[in-house]
Amino acid sequence: MNSARERAIRIGAPLVVGALFLFAWEMFVVVRHIAPYVLPKPTAIWEQTLKFFGDIWESFLYSGGNTLAGLLIGALLGVALAIVASRTPFVEQLLSPMAAAVAAMPIVALAPVFNTMFTSTSTTPRRLIVIIVVFFPMFINTVRGLRQVDPIHNELMTSYAATGWQLTRAVRLPGALPFICSGLRISSSLAVIAAVVAEYFGGTQNGLGSRITSAAANTAYARAWGYVVASVVLGLLFYLAALLFERIVMPWQRTAAL
């Protein structure tokens, strides 16, 4: 009974707070006579979202596809290179500074450069930017997790004459799963941000980022906010997918919590 009540409170409380926030937003705009180009009303945003739902959905799928492709490639690349780096100190010394340098690259500077390197209709520039953004947290978190090996487990595998790969597969990777999942949670949100921001700087005009700038340029501010809301929903979906992945690969944590 208490569990059901706690679950209802956990779900209901954010919904109530969100509804109150939207109501306060609506009243603030109405009472203060805020111009639509400064801050449109939530009801106006909702109307434009329904009216242009087809276009918003198309842009949602386009940006989501770029995000998914970049996230998968960047995550797999980060984990794979982290495994290599954890077993070879020289590789780690070589890759760690490069990973930090890649993370310091601003998306605003990379997007125009990549757009000139590829055709204007190519999705490669946006996906490359997502890969770069995702790679750093996945690499750093995985390397950190692979180092967290219990000495007893290490000695046991050594006594069995296990190879380096067998030690990694049987001990290090399972032990690093919490760190990998933590990196994936961070990367899932960053991937959406990178994909949307990259669409501001040329290329095909099918994504959420390009549609936001186009609507704002045409003074359709409520519609632009509709695309912003779609971007928020996309980010939440990817974050929830990362949480679901964590529950699937680490079911024992959920059992322990219960």
Say whether pLDDT at 21 is over 70: yes
- Percent of all residues in the chain with a pLDDT value above 70, rounded to a whole number: 86
At 75-93, the pLDDT tens digits run: 999 999 888 887 777 777 7
Q: What is the pLDDT of residue 207?
A: 86
User: Region 37-44: what's the mean pLDDT?
Assistant: 88
User: Region 202-227: what's the mean pLDDT?
Assistant: 86
Global confidence as pTM: 0.85
At 103-125, the pLDDT tens digits run: 777 777 777 788 778 776 778 88
Summary mean pLDDT of the chain: 82
Q: What is the pLDDT of residue 184?
A: 93
Q: What is the pLDDT of residue 224?
A: 92
Domain boundaries, the chain: 1-34, 44-257
Say whether pLDDT at 152 is over 80: no
Single-letter residue type at 95: L
One DSSP character per residue, the chain reads -HHHHHHHHHHHHHHHHHHHHHHHHHHHHHHHT--TTT---HHHHHHHHHHTHHHHHHHHHHHHHHHHHHHHHHHHHHHHHHHHHHH-HHHHHHHHHHHHHHHHS-HHHHHHHHHHHS-TT-SHHHHHHHHHHHHHHHHHHHHHHHH---HHHHHHHHHTT--HHHHIIIIIHHHHHHHHHHHHHHHHHHHHHHHHHHTTSSS-S-SHHHHHHHHHHTT-HHHHHHHHHHHHHHHHHHHHHHHHHHHHH-HHHHHHH-
User: Region 57-79: what's the mean pLDDT?
Assistant: 93
Task: Please give the angle made by the CA atoms of 23, 28 and 31, to the nearest 5 degrees.
Answer: 120
Say whether pLDDT at 199 is over 70: yes
The dihedral of CA 232, 235, 237, 240: what is its sign? negative
Say whether pLDDT at 258 is over 50: no
Fold of 44-257: MetI-like fold (1.10.3720)
Residue 143's pLDDT band (boundaries 50, 70, 90)? confident
Residue 257's pLDDT band (boundaries 50, 70, 90)? very low
User: Region 159-172: what's the mean pLDDT?
Assistant: 62
